[in-house]
Amino acid sequence: MVAAAKSKTAAAKTRRTRRTGRRDPLAITLLKKDHREVEGWFDDYEQLEADAEKLALFNKIALALKVHTQIEEEIFYPEERGEVEDDMLDEAYVEHDGAKKLIAEIEAMQPGDEFYDAKVKVLGEYIKHHVKEEEQPGGIFAQAKKGDEDLDAMGERLKARKEELMAQMGGPAAN
């Protein structure tokens, strides 16, 4: 009986893992991967003390955010218009605009300048808020998954455009 209970538990875990692994179509998986990566970098930034390290990591964050916002604005958001509530998409565009302005301000500064670290911190909080709005139940991603768009095919377009933009902007190729 104990062996049967263990095998049922193992089977349930396997099913859950399998479902979890397949739940998100490629477009959502790629965008969420970008979110996790940048969130981790913001956390890493908090631990840095050397200005050169701060600058290098911020440049990595800025590039990732510029590319991510561009692929969302060129492909994901326009193709999801009609599938996702207009208000949510409008707010996402405005949040992107605010983030781009803050990135430009930080890029015009140097680590060690007054408010540099504070602006990076606020940018991180701003991005975390934006990510939460996209990923929360009923949010942009949840609504997109309920729509008629082929999010796996869109994921291929997102991936190709990301690789193209990273090459143009001097970053590493997308995974």
pLDDT tens digits along 33-73? 999 999 999 999 999 999 999 999 999 999 999 999 999 99
Query: Cβ distance 161 to 150 under 8 Å?
Result: no
Q: 3-class DSSP state for residue 84?
A: strand
pLDDT in tens, 124-158: 999 999 999 999 999 999 999 999 999 999 999 99
Calculate ∠ Cα 101-105-111, nearest 5°.
145
Is the pTM value of this prediction over 0.95? no
pLDDT of res. 119: 98
Calculate ∠ Cα 150-63-103, nearest 5°.
110
Instruction: Compute the Cα dihedral for 31, 163, 148, 140 and give only its sign.
Output: positive
Q: How far apart are CA 126 and CA 130, in angstroms?
A: 6
